[in-house]
A and B are shown apart, each in its own frame.
Chain A
């Protein structure tokens, strides 16, 4: 079947028609996940996807990343890394969400990337979109769950967003926050402890001490409260996993008296599917051991129904037993009576065990239970009888004195019982209390001597025990019987029994060798034995966090993280205060709201939203806090909700001054956020570039480029270009020449090209390329021109057809290629009259730039705006020859077409440039240290370009 999908999905993937692309990409994803890892696929997809990663449609960008990150081939790790970094800074939250998913994939492919990935996670954690939150926390849990410091600043935001996050994300965030809260807040359970202490103090009447404890009453951290308050509504979720997650959060974090609010919701889950019931009951079982009161009112919900599956029944039984107390024991026992009659024998046996537990726990009913169990001894079902005997044995041990008659009764039953465990239990009882039944016990031993060889091992062991005990108490009657049994045991097939027999013989039968030990035989064998404690199987489950897989299995699962204990002293609370909000992200969110992706229109909407927001910021600060969330307009929340939220916020501000600081985050947006949102300078630049685009657009349409009749117009356009952008043409030019076509393959036609580093005359977004065509053949070549191009969307400005090139002659032509700021090769065909040759121009990344002059001041200002994800830096070692400033300039300029920025500091070299196609700023700075090392920093939005450029520069500077 997968083959069919491949055929359907893959073939159209090559011909990316606009609307069809989405379909193809998603099919390609399916295809890749089936065949992921084939080299063939990789080769094709890489080219396709790097291209698609830049697509204007966010879904295609996201899907392309999904495909790329699904390729499980280690070679492409660096490319994936770049793509993730790029996507993490994307304007669309959906793409950012995808990048969070991709982080996990990359991490599992290459764990060495951890450090870099953590940086991306840190960046994404700051994201304010509900779409991203769940996925990035998931990535956090997978990659660096111990980096709790990354959460501090985002803690309050996560708490506040929680309700609106999609349900799967909620589960992940809640469990992460549970762990976080356990490390950051002090225990709210101290109150209870204090209360108990107070009780003691009332008894002793010591006023002084009481005051001491009251001197430091527990005050819950407002952040702790925030978490509890914001998770509470989620108890009403339809998703059972979310409800369970909240329940465990309350269990582990809330003050004792608040935990009970989760009860009702947990009981509600019991009406869900069988599997859900199973997990929820397991958790309730653990909870009910510690807190009976929580579930007591709902005891009827745990009554077993005949249609329940066995494991559900057993769990319900467990819970009922845990909940049993003096008040309700009679009803519970009544229920148990019905359960014993169940046709499900395993369940009936478990019920008997449960009755035994109730009997030991609640002394009032011990007798009733014992009687009931004795009654069961006459049950027709052997399993029930056997289980009763085992339980009675345990019960009798707790109070053996009064129950001689029950032991007698069991001795009577002995002949009919065949279940080995039950027989062994009766034998043990006989031996242990042989003094109470002095006549019966030897008779039982006699019977056992007859059937000894046919018994099960466990029964044989107990027979040997019984014999030994009787020998010690009543040797007159049983000496011969004991010897007989010991002889039988000596030759038994099972070595355990042989071993035991030998041991017992040495112990009880005095002879010369045994010496000291046999004196103590009586004390050894007939020592009073402590009664077994009947405990819940869930007793020790509370060492695992509730709701986890480990808890469910009672076994530490791989990747389980211990829930840390409360700290004695709370760590610094102020770490969670948020002071600054980066303008970058707000910008992105606003862009997202206006749903515009085309860069050209972006500028318009950007200015619009700026105007809007400046209006907003003139209103009250709380108002613009609202608009900062960006999604307010389309928000589903009704007005009244909003008001309410605000009210509570205001109320808090009034109540608690320091707490008000914590919410300062929101007003801060309107002050710093909108002020620096689109700095004037940038705004103007964008406007100019817009007009400039428009201008060229007109020129393009109205006057075809090849129209040489109107040169003045064109030059004036260029002069405008120079003026407005201050883009300098580099005077520096040790031109590197690359081979385009060798004369052997070109049948005499050879071509070389170089980048003249001049602004392209045809279109501003094109890179100028000069091609030198030489005819090395012995005949003239005619009609040299450019044929088909690929990719089809490639925008190339071709040179005019060369009518004739004489043998030996050469001609230089210039062309313009729009590489769209990617180093993807431009493929085209170089045609002559007779032949066609496929050639390709692969630009070095440095050639996709154009220099831009700026002052040092401007440079620093711009650099300040391109921090964080937009910054790439590395320490490089320089070749000794490159120590001087001039040498550095030479090397840098040979790699990249950038302009030097005059620098006041000696150890700093700065270069500025813009990408040719999208005009994104590229800022290079090189800080020299004393030794041959240097710190190279590149600030640009185009992080893919930055890292490529970094690599090239590193290489160039390392070489002399």
Chain B
């Protein structure tokens, strides 16, 4: 299956390689570099690249390419999913997954990769099992290891690997038993110039942090489970119970994990928490353009919209922008033509606005594109879909755990002001068509 793995940084250096079968020469990556050169953007490198003797499957995360080398037919998603799992594990272990972090912890990285794959086939990918086998590095442990020359390899045997609940290690003990659940929803929307919604979707996840002693059996029920249109579960969730009773019943892994991700269908009405009014005009022949943008809250159930960040890719012809924000700060990068406005919190009484002029390149024709505006925001204490957790019960253990639940809504891919000039163009087409006929 997976033969080798190469880690390539943004500047094209192979800074780590790992082989599970025989050693594959680094030169195989030349094919990857070729594809990389052809691609204009780093994201445009095709994930699957055939070479004469191998196939390269790559993922790009945190500006690092993880390139797996395979030799024969294998479902590409299998490899891609595994590579993402590797990145997640690194993130879990080192907090961040950067070149520096990997280089600093290279011993742990090799140990992890060795345990995760055996002869190219995934062996242990559950974070709980891995953590039993190989202890995550801490400053203290790193220091002790350097002095004593010992390793991160765990002293216990990974008994979890054998049980019917492989995701949970045995013999967990806490003095404070706590279970926290975060319901995080992301809203993806496209809003047209006039402020009406073209599409809106909600994706949600429930991330959990469970620190409970022993082998607790939890059930989590919702007030309105019908909202959830399409769900995918952590393997610990008993699917049959969900099917029958719409209850999440599970023996949780120890620590942080993603319990559930769901999708609220677009059939349900999605409340859009913010609106944007913008007016960006360029006049033919003039070297000036006007820019006018106002934000406002909408259907937030009284909760404040926070950490608002507006960004827009202005047309190429724009040389500079001279704008005046009513609150927050803005930056304009003349090279990438990216305008970003850090708004902060929206005050419903005094709506934030950004107004001013843009100077255009002399002699350039009128920019033909209406820029799209991306908005990011956060709303605490609210799940925009209206999803509510009803109760959490624990069976199998006697103590009383502390339970907590937190809701949050974030903007996902939230775009406003897609050009709606097409109607005009239809009319124009007709006119032109007639013109040609007359000619």
Enumerate chain A interface residues (CB-CB to B < 8 A).
1-2, 4-5, 8-9, 19-20, 22-23, 26-27, 29-30, 33, 57-59, 66, 69-70, 72, 92-94, 98, 101, 104-105, 108, 130-131, 135, 138, 163-164, 166-168, 171, 175, 233, 236-241, 243-245, 264-265, 267-268, 271, 273-276, 278-280, 300, 303, 305-307, 309-311, 334, 337-338, 341, 343, 368, 371-372, 374-375, 378, 380, 405-406, 408-409, 547-550, 552-553, 555, 557-561, 631, 634-638, 640-641, 644
Chain A neighbourhood of B19, CB < 8 A: 33
Taking A104-B119, A306-B372, A561-B73 as known contacts, 7 extra A-B pairs with beta carbons closer than 8 A to each other, sorted by chain A number, are: A241-B77, A264-B229, A275-B57, A300-B199, A303-B190, A310-B40, A547-B77
Interchain CB contact under 8 A, A171 and B151: no
Chain B neighbourhood of A22, CB < 8 A: 157
Chain B neighbourhood of A637, CB < 8 A: 238
CB-based closest 5 A-B pairs: A559-B72, A275-B47, A309-B43, A337-B422, A168-B122
What are 11 A-B interface contacts by the 8 Å CB criterion?
A26-B133, A101-B121, A275-B57, A276-B77, A280-B77, A311-B44, A547-B76, A549-B70, A549-B76, A557-B55, A644-B244
Interchain CB contact under 8 A, A135 and B75: no
Does B368 belong to the interface (CB within 8 Å)?
yes
Interchain CB contact under 8 A, B425 and A375: yes
Question: With contacts A275-B59, A374-B432 known, is A23 near B155, CB below 8 A?
Answer: yes
Does B286 belong to the interface (CB within 8 Å)?
no
B263 CB to closest chain A CB, in angstroms? 6
How far is A130 from B162 in the complex, measured between Cα atoms in Å?
10
Interchain CB contact under 8 A, B436 and A408: yes
Q: Which of B1, B107, B158, B243 contacts A4 (CB 8 A)?
A: B107
Q: Which of B58, B154, B316, B415 contacts A305 (CB 8 A)?
A: B415
B193 CB to closest chain A CB, in angstroms? 12
How far is A341 from B315 in the complex, measured between Cα atoms in Å?
12
Chain B neighbourhood of A94, CB < 8 A: 161-162
How far is A406 from B239 in the complex, measured between Cα atoms in Å?
61
Interchain CB contact under 8 A, A338 and B151: no
Chain A neighbourhood of B47, CB < 8 A: 274-275, 278-279
Residue of B nearest to A174 (CB): B75
How far is A276 from B84 in the complex, measured between Cα atoms in Å?
10
Interchain CB contact under 8 A, A171 and B60: no
Does B304 belong to the interface (CB within 8 Å)?
no
Chain A neighbourhood of B429, CB < 8 A: 368, 371-372, 374-375
Interchain CB contact under 8 A, A279 and B76: yes
Interchain CB contact under 8 A, B111 and A30: yes
Chain B neighbourhood of A634, CB < 8 A: 163-164
Does B235 belong to the interface (CB within 8 Å)?
yes
Q: Which of B139-160 contact A (CB under 8 A)?
A: 149-151, 153-155, 157-158
Chain B neighbourhood of A168, CB < 8 A: 78, 82, 121-122, 125
Q: Which of B55, B75, B241 contacts A241 (CB 8 A)?
A: B75
Question: With contacts A59-B158, A104-B119, A371-B429 known, is A309 near B44, CB below 8 A?
Answer: yes
Enumerate chain B interface residues (CB-CB to A < 8 A).
1, 19-22, 39-41, 43-44, 46-48, 50, 55, 57-61, 70-78, 80-84, 106-107, 110-111, 114-115, 118-119, 121-123, 125, 133, 149-151, 153-155, 157-158, 161-166, 190, 199, 203, 229-236, 238-241, 243-244, 249, 251, 258, 261, 263, 266, 313, 316, 365, 368-369, 372, 413, 415, 418-419, 422, 425-426, 428-430, 432-433, 436-437, 439
A303 CB to closest chain B CB, in angstroms? 7
How far is A57 from B313 in the complex, measured between Cα atoms in Å?
62
Interchain CB contact under 8 A, A548 and B75: yes
B28 CB to closest chain A CB, in angstroms? 15
Interchain CB contact under 8 A, A245 and B233: no
B1 CB to closest chain A CB, in angstroms? 8
Question: With contacts A237-B232, A337-B425, A641-B241 known, is A547 near B75, CB below 8 A?
Answer: yes
Interchain CB contact under 8 A, A548 and B266: no
Q: Is the interface of B mostly helix, strand, loop or mixed?
A: mixed
How far is A130 from B73 in the complex, measured between Cα atoms in Å?
25
B433 CB to closest chain A CB, in angstroms? 5
Residue of A nearest to B1 (CB): A138
Residue of A nearest to B240 (CB): A641
A662 CB to closest chain B CB, in angstroms? 22
How far is A374 from B164 in the complex, measured between Cα atoms in Å?
65
Interchain CB contact under 8 A, A8 and B240: no
Residue of B nearest to A378 (CB): B432
Chain A neighbourhood of B57, CB < 8 A: 275
Question: With contacts A23-B151, A59-B157, A341-B419 known, is A380 near B365, CB below 8 A?
Answer: yes
How far is A337 from B81 in the complex, measured between Cα atoms in Å?
35
Inter-chain contact total with CB atoms closer than 8 Å: 248
Residue of B nearest to A637 (CB): B238
How far is A637 from B217 in the complex, measured between Cα atoms in Å?
11
How far is A5 from B153 in the complex, measured between Cα atoms in Å?
12
How far is A23 from B150 in the complex, measured between Cα atoms in Å?
11
Chain A neighbourhood of B76, CB < 8 A: 279, 547-549, 552
Chain A neighbourhood of B369, CB < 8 A: 341, 343
Interchain CB contact under 8 A, A163 and B239: yes
Question: With contacts A375-B425, A408-B439 known, is A265 near B230, CB below 8 A?
Answer: yes
Interchain CB contact under 8 A, B80 and A549: no
How far is A271 from B204 in the complex, measured between Cα atoms in Å?
11
Interchain CB contact under 8 A, A309 and B162: no
Chain A neighbourhood of B425, CB < 8 A: 337, 372, 375
Chain B neighbourhood of A167, CB < 8 A: 235
Interchain CB contact under 8 A, A338 and B365: no
Interchain CB contact under 8 A, A310 and B413: no
Question: With contacts A23-B151, A309-B41 known, is A550 near B240, CB below 8 A?
Answer: no
Interchain CB contact under 8 A, A644 and B240: yes
A527 CB to closest chain B CB, in angstroms? 29
Interchain CB contact under 8 A, B121 and A135: yes
Interchain CB contact under 8 A, A238 and B73: no
Question: With contacts A5-B107, A268-B232 known, is A636 near B78, CB below 8 A?
Answer: no
Residue of B nearest to A166 (CB): B166
Interchain CB contact under 8 A, B365 and A549: no
Q: Which of A279, A405, A552 contacts B436 (CB 8 A)?
A: A405
Interchain CB contact under 8 A, A276 and B110: no
Chain B neighbourhood of A636, CB < 8 A: 164-165, 236, 238, 251
A275 CB to closest chain B CB, in angstroms? 4
Chain B neighbourhood of A341, CB < 8 A: 368-369, 419
How far is A299 from B178 in the complex, measured between Cα atoms in Å?
43
How far is A548 from B122 in the complex, measured between Cα atoms in Å?
18
Interchain CB contact under 8 A, B75 and A273: no
Residue of B nearest to A371 (CB): B429
Interchain CB contact under 8 A, A27 and B157: no
Question: With contacts A26-B133, A72-B22, A94-B162 known, is A236 near B239, CB below 8 A?
Answer: yes
How far is A59 from B436 in the complex, measured between Cα atoms in Å?
82
Interchain CB contact under 8 A, B43 and A274: yes
How far is A547 from B80 in the complex, measured between Cα atoms in Å?
12
Interchain CB contact under 8 A, A638 and B238: yes
How far is A627 from B37 in the complex, measured between Cα atoms in Å?
60
Interchain CB contact under 8 A, B50 and A240: no
Chain B neighbourhood of A267, CB < 8 A: 230
How far is A827 from B86 in the complex, measured between Cα atoms in Å?
46
Interchain CB contact under 8 A, B73 and A558: yes
Interchain CB contact under 8 A, A138 and B121: yes
Chain A neighbourhood of B121, CB < 8 A: 101, 104, 135, 138, 168
Chain A neighbourhood of B313, CB < 8 A: 306
Chain A neighbourhood of B190, CB < 8 A: 303
Question: With contacts A27-B151, A94-B161, A271-B203 known, is A241 near B428, CB below 8 A?
Answer: no
How far is A380 from B316 in the complex, measured between Cα atoms in Å?
14
Question: With contacts A23-B151, A23-B155 known, is A171 near B78, CB below 8 A?
Answer: yes
Question: With contacts A23-B151, A26-B115 known, is A273 near B59, CB below 8 A?
Answer: yes
Chain B neighbourhood of A372, CB < 8 A: 425-426, 429
Chain B neighbourhood of A1, CB < 8 A: 106-107, 110
Question: With contacts A238-B261, A307-B413, A636-B165 known, is A8 near B149, CB below 8 A?
Answer: yes
